Amino acid sequence: MMHTPSVARTPTHPRPAAAYFDLQATWGLTKHFGGTTATDTLLSRCGVGPETRLLEVGCGVGITPCHAARTLGCQVVAVDLSERMLTWAHRRAWRLRLDRQVSLAAADAQALPFPDDSFDAVICESVLAFVPDPTRALAEYRRVARPGGAVGVTEGVWLRPPPPALESYLARALGGARFLPPDGWAALLGGAGLGMVSAERHRIGALDQWRDDLSRLDAADLLDYARAWRSFLTGLATSPALRRYVRTVWPSSPSIFRVFDSFGYGIFVGRKETPPR
């Protein structure tokens, strides 16, 4: 039986990383820079089609694996470290009747439970900045990709060197995330033994990002989202731990609201080389 996630629970853990992801799991919403437009670009750059066996690492509440399965007809294996996120993802796949195309499991990006050469393409969106060792994670992505297969990453990038206060704020607000300039992410893919196929950078505004986040939700998601907002506001009134977390991530300077002057996202695709015969 499919278990429906509770939207009434509010995050109570005081650690920023735990609170950040617990809050997203409570809402049934995960943020992907660039929204559906970035997802479609990433899938296209990785050559995903009906015959593709695709792995998504860090699937969150299951929006991307269901989108890929529904629009491209591919078979998707999706993993996430959070059981609460996976509960939402299972619910979404079942509701959209994609449970035969989308397989879900708990796994760590740094130690994937799959044999070598298992997938035609491996993707992750807004994940590597949160992984303790992104180099190790990319090596795992390369390992489980078949020879000639693509590894694609969408991640936040510094379009120009950020003011120290802005960099510190984003790390604090986003659970300790560590963002790099575009050439930093490209270098990590190359260092993992992937031949670079494409690297591109994009600007995005706060309103655009918010609109993209909501555009990924269907009517059932929006109802859950509204309920979770009500629970969140109730939690602010009743939970000292939640109030402490909100104070921790609240901007200390008005200049923080200009984050997108320095920040955007990048789409990076590498390929696992085919060994010589």
Which of 13, 109, 101 lies closest to 59 in space, CA to CA? 109
Query: 195 vs 84, which has greater pLDDT?
Result: 195
Which pLDDT score is estimated for 235?
A: 74
- 116 within a domain of the structure (yes/no): yes
pLDDT of residue 104 exceeding 60, the answer is yes
Mean pLDDT for the chain?
Answer: 84
Expressed in percent and rounded to 5, the helix, strand and coil fractions of the chain are 45, 20, 30
* Domain ranges, residue 88: 31-166+176-207+257-272
For the entire predicted model, the pTM comes to 0.84
Which pLDDT score is estimated for 41?
A: 97
Q: Which of helix, strand or coil describes residue 52?
A: coil
pLDDT band for position 28 (50/70/90)?
low
- 227 within a domain of the structure (yes/no): no
| pLDDT tens per residue, range 199-255 | 999 998 766 766 776 666 677 777 776 777 777 788 778 878 777 777 776 766 665
Output the domain CATH number for residue 162.
Answer: 3.40.50.150
Strands (E), the chain: 53-57, 75-80, 102-106, 119-125, 145-158, 194-203, 263-272
Q: Which two tokens stand for residue 169?
A: 């704020």
% of the chain at pLDDT higher than 70:
81
Report the number of distinct structural domains present in the chain.
1
- 221 within a domain of the structure (yes/no): no
Q: How many residues does the chain have?
A: 277
- 49 within a domain of the structure (yes/no): yes
- 238 within a domain of the structure (yes/no): no
- 261 within a domain of the structure (yes/no): yes
pLDDT of residue 10 exceeding 60, the answer is no
- 246 within a domain of the structure (yes/no): no
- 18 within a domain of the structure (yes/no): no
